[in-house]
């Protein structure tokens, strides 16, 4: 089915209720809540993605359904819910406008295709998904590497929601309402202390980003350090409804009196903050990168500039400068949902790129080694030959000495096919480990899904591939040991490695390519254990030890129940804290902890 959403661009999801968020139709009798959808709303909120509702129902009945079932916590996670019997197109548009977002940053989920078509008529740039793609949204959520464990963003939108209600009830003009809101702003220059928050603001803002210069942390640090040339500052705002945290940022080039960065969060849209700051700076030169949703020419005199507004705890400098990296496939991106920490946690997981190609080879130990060993030109040459790895597969920070702990899953090594170039030793990943595509006896199977008119063309590609490559093995034990040796020897001695080993307990549940993977795990794990004994900075998490019954598997031997992911998280936390002699990681919530018991 066609995928019409990109979770990495998403700031809001608008849910239908009947036969979508819950099972059944409320007006026709009882409904049952879908626990996975409840969990997803909580996980979305933790990632800073907000939730709303657009449903044809009775508001009081819907609210009562949440409360009587003990789900008031989830009800409070929905913002600007629109629940009545009117058509949905205009209502969805109103929700987006009230939250001051752009259509292209919103996904609407609805089981009724007619509703989606109507919504797209009013909001042509909105993303959409039928209820059948909710699991795909949940599966791809790991791509959003942003965490808001204290629900700071939700609280700030709650302020906007309350403000919006008061404004609708007020009979005063918009200007009178703003004057009565007691808006205060503070300009602070200690940007180095909040560089992570500022960079996220730069990457996330669009509507009120007047310059749209996207920069990384290293570039920001250079700007902040050059105080003779640049005046850099962030803006905090508050009014009688609450504190908006860091909601603006600018960089003024003092030599040219021009703004190189000038941007604000959509949370403070229509408050006049951006106009006030621009006027305060003396209206410097600015080359506006359109489109923007504000005009800087007006002057707002209802805002008070104050010396200090305190940041909330979420936006303070992290307690620890420790860096930890998780690299692997579905086992780790499911596990990380249960891990909290006082440190910086980075992830390198499979992802959908802009061409909607699923990029995953970079998590295989052979590709980790190759990416570090080969030059940039050599790596790019691989992208031009079958099986055409994506350039993004070579973007990694894996060997950066800043990481004190790296968690590496080896589950990919037991089911993905690896091939070695006969001329230069370069690696290629293609297909599954149980099907050698250099063996002509397997070509009918490989080409089975190819349309008849393209089979001969693809057969010639396989013939060329066979001429240049040799199969690394089933399983590729020698290659894996070579990969792991290279990885360990080229990582910093201060970096602790934690390997995740696949389960050695068979299951009848299987997907394409997973036949015989249990036997591969048994062979590979034996050699990895022996390898790990040679080093004092390698630990192992044995998934085999966590399996209690076949119910612990979901779909196949590498996909697990929630209990298993919690247990994997617990093992990683225990090993990491022991290695670092401090409690840097913990299970995210007590609720998650109880799931494993």
pLDDT tens-digit map of 2-40: 678 999 999 999 999 999 999 998 987 789 999 999 999
Instruction: Please tell me the predicted confidence (pLDDT) of residue 334.
Output: 79
pLDDT tens-digit profile of 518-534?
Answer: 999 999 999 999 999 99
Distance CA 424, CA 470 (A): 12
Distance CA 547, CA 568 (A): 11
95 band by pLDDT with thresholds 50, 70 and 90? very high
Structure tokens at 530: 């022996």
Q: Is pLDDT larger for residue 391 or for residue 293?
A: 391
505 band by pLDDT with thresholds 50, 70 and 90? very high
Instruction: Please tell me the predicted confidence (pLDDT) of residue 546.
Output: 94
319 band by pLDDT with thresholds 50, 70 and 90? low
Distance CA 540, CA 574 (A): 12
Flag whether pLDDT at 315 surpasses 50: no
Flag whether pLDDT at 1 surpasses 80: no
Instruction: Please tell me the predicted confidence (pLDDT) of residue 104.
Output: 93
3-class SS at 260? Answer: strand
Q: Is pLDDT larger for residue 167 or for residue 547?
A: 547
CB 426 within 8 A of CB 382: yes
Angle between helices 195-204 and 217-225 (to 10 degrees): 120
Instruction: Please tell me the predicted confidence (pLDDT) of residue 181.
Output: 82
Instruction: Please tell me the predicted confidence (pLDDT) of residue 312.
Output: 57
CATH C-level class of 7-147: alpha beta
Mean pLDDT of the chain: 88
Measure the CA angle with vertex 135, ends 129 and 140; round to 5°.
Answer: 90
Q: Is pLDDT larger for residue 317 or for residue 503?
A: 503
pLDDT tens-digit profile of 140-169?
Answer: 888 887 788 888 889 889 988 888 888 777
Flag whether pLDDT at 86 surpasses 50: yes
CB 54 within 8 A of CB 15: yes
Percentage of the chain beyond pLDDT 70 is 94
CATH C-level class of 323-430+475-595: alpha beta
Flag whether pLDDT at 316 surpasses 80: no
Instruction: Please tell me the predicted confidence (pLDDT) of residue 248.
Output: 95
Pick the range with the lowest mean pLDDT from 99-113, 272-286, 335-349, 410-424. 335-349
Angle between helices 88-98 and 113-122 (to 10 degrees): 50
How far are the Cα atoms of 529, 570, 572 from residue 577, in angstroms, in the given order?
21, 11, 8
Q: Which helix or strand (DSSP H or E) is residue 576 part of?
A: helix 562-580
Structure tokens at 360: 């995953």
Instruction: Please tell me the predicted confidence (pLDDT) of residue 288.
Output: 94
What DSSP character marks residue 27? G
Distance CA 451, CA 336 (A): 40
Mean pLDDT of the region 465-487: 92
Annotated domain spans of the chain: 7-147, 175-315, 323-430+475-595
Residue closest to 585 by CA, chosen among 408, 411, 410, 404: 404
597 band by pLDDT with thresholds 50, 70 and 90? very low
pLDDT tens-digit profile of 207-246?
Answer: 789 999 988 888 999 999 999 999 999 999 988 877 888 9
Equal CATH topology for 7-147 and 323-430+475-595: yes
Structure tokens at 365: 């130990």
Instruction: Please tell me the predicted confidence (pLDDT) of residue 591.
Output: 38
Residue 270: what are its φ and ψ, rounded to 5°? 70, 15
CATH C-level class of 175-315: alpha beta
């Amino acid at each position: 089915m066609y995928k019409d959403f990109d979770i990495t661009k998403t700031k809001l999801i608008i849910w239908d209720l009947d036969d979508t968020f819950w099972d059944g139709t409320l007006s026709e009798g009882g409904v049952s809540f879908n626990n996975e959808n409840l969990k997803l709303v909580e996980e979305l909120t933790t990632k800073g993605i907000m939730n709303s509702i657009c449903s044809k129902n009775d508001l009081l009945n819907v609210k009562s359904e949440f409360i009587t079932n003990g789900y008031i916590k989830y009800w409070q996670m929905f913002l600007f819910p629109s629940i009545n019997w009117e058509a949905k197109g205009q209502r969805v548009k109103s929700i987006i406008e009230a939250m001051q977002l752009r259509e292209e940053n919103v996904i609407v989920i609805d089981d009724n295709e007619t509703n989606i078509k109507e919504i797209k008529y009013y909001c042509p740039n909105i993303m959409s998904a039928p209820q059948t793609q909710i699991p795909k949204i949940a599966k791809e959520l790991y791509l959003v590497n942003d965490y808001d464990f204290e629900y700071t963003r939700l609280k700030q939108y709650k302020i906007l929601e309350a403000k919006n209600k008061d404004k609708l009830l007020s009979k005063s003009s918009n200007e009178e309402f703003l004057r009565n809101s007691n808006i205060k702003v503070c300009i602070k220059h200690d940007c180095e202390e909040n560089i992570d928050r500022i960079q996220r603001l730069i990457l996330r803002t669009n509507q009120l980003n007047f310059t749209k210069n996207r920069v990384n942390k290293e570039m920001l640090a250079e700007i902040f350090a050059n105080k003779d040339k640049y005046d850099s500052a962030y803006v905090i705002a508050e009014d009688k409804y609450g504190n908006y945290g860091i909601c603006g940022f600018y960089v003024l080039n003092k030599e040219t009196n021009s703004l190189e960065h000038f941007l604000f969060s959509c949370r403070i849209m229509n408050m006049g903050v951006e106009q006030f700051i621009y006027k305060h700076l003396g209206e410097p030169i600015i080359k506006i990168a359109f489109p923007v949703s504000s005009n800087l020419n007006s002057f707002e005199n209802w805002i008070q500039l104050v010396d200090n507004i305190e940041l909330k705890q979420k936006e303070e400098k992290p307690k620890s400068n420790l860096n930890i990296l998780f690299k692997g496939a579905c086992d780790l991106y499911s596990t990380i949902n249960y891990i909290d920490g006082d440190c910086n946690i980075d992830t390198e997981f499979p992802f959908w790129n802009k061409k909607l190609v699923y990029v995953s080879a970079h998590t295989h130990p052979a590709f980790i080694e190759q990416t570090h060993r080969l030059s940039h030109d050599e790596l790019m040459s691989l992208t031009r030959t079958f099986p055409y790895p994506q350039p993004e597969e070579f973007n990694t920070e894996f060997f950066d000495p800043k990481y004190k702990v790296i968690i590496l899953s080896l589950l990919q090594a037991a089911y993905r096919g690896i091939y070695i170039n006969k001329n230069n030793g370069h690696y290629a990943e293609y297909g599954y480990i149980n099907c050698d595509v250099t063996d002509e006896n397997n070509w009918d199977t490989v080409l089975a899904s190819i349309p008849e008119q393209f089979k001969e063309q693809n057969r010639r590609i396989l013939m060329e591939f066979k001429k240049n490559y040799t199969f690394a093995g089933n399983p590729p034990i020698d290659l894996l040991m070579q990969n792991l040796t290279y990885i360990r020897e080229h990582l910093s001695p201060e970096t602790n490695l934690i390997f995740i080993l696949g389960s050695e307990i068979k299951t009848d549940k299987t997907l394409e390519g997973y036949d015989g993977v249990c036997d591969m795990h048994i062979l590979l794990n034996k050699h990895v254990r022996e390898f790990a004994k040679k080093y004092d900075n390698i630990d192992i998490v044995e998934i085999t030890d966590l399996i209690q019954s076949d119910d612990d598997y979901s779909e196949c031997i590498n996909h697990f129940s929630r209990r298993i992911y919690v247990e994997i998280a617990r093992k990683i936390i225990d090993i990491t804290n022991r290695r670092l002699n401090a409690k840097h990681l913990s299970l995210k919530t007590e609720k998650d902890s109880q799931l494993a018991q």
